[in-house]
Amino acid sequence: MKALLVIAHGSRKASSNQEVADLADKLKQQSSPFKLITHGFLELTTPKVPDAVAELVKGGATEVTILPYFLAAGMHVTEDLPELLAQAKADYPQVDFTLLEHLGAADLMPSWILQQASAN
Amino acid sequence: MKALLVIAHGSRKASSNQEVADLADKLKQQSSPFKLITHGFLELTTPKVPDAVAELVKGGATEVTILPYFLAAGMHVTEDLPELLAQAKADYPQVDFTLLEHLGAADLMPSWILQQASAN
């Protein structure tokens, strides 16, 4: 069973964290290959990433795609996320984890920006 | 003449700032209604937003669409950007400035994330 985990930094501002939770809710409403979708934070708020991973595995996920919801490859993306990936693989060797590039590196980002800028 | 200004936070990490500059270069290579495209930063590096605005106006821009390249509506988005907008309007009353919502609030964000997650 395929699952999607969206990882964000986490903020002291509750509304910013809520934006990520709302995004995960919207993702669940769309048709996709992912039977389970959730979000996890690195810092400052919950659910933390290991708890989000545990929830997905408990729900039956066998393939987990991890999308870093970051625009820039700062230390969180280049160091923290590979560490979390290694830990997840060690904790759940029966699960196939795939860590994608951060969202800002998406080949389609220029197209998305122009879509957004032209629509308004 | 329509112009697009992508505003990012700015980082101490040069490679993160370069990601934004590279993004602006890719935007310029795409077909779009924007004859001029550039980027500006809020903090920590250059070009700063007022200089980016000045460059666009000097280049002949009469309509400037401003896209906040942020995933969350933190204080930079909710306070700094409206102030920068007000200053730009005061400095160049002949130019039509439109401040879009931050990228994370785009209606299409869930679709973009699923595009990215399904492609990999």
ipTM field: 0.94
Note the helical H segments in chain A.
Answer: 14-29, 49-58, 75, 81-91, 109-119
Nearest residue to B42 via CA among B2, B69, B15, B23: B69
- Mean pLDDT score of chain B, rounded to an integer? 96
Interface residue B96 vs chain A (CB under 8 A): no
Q: Map residue A97 onto helix, strand or coil.
A: strand
* pLDDT score recorded for residue A25: 97
- Selecting from B23, B34, B65 the residue whose C-beta is nearest the C-beta of A109 gives B23
Query: Whole-model pTM?
Result: 0.94
* pLDDT score recorded for residue A74: 87
CA nearest to A24 within chain B: B110
Query: pLDDT tier at B5 (50, 70, 90 boundaries)?
Result: very high
Q: Quick check: A113 and B8 CB within 8 A?
A: no
Q: Which residues of A touch B72 (CB under 8 A)?
A: 8, 11, 13, 16, 19-20
Q: What is the pLDDT of residues B40-66, one digit of tens each?
A: 999 999 999 999 999 999 999 999 999
Q: What is the pLDDT of residues B90-119, one digit of tens each?
A: 999 999 999 999 999 999 999 999 999 998
Distance from CA of B97 to the nearest CA of A (A): 12
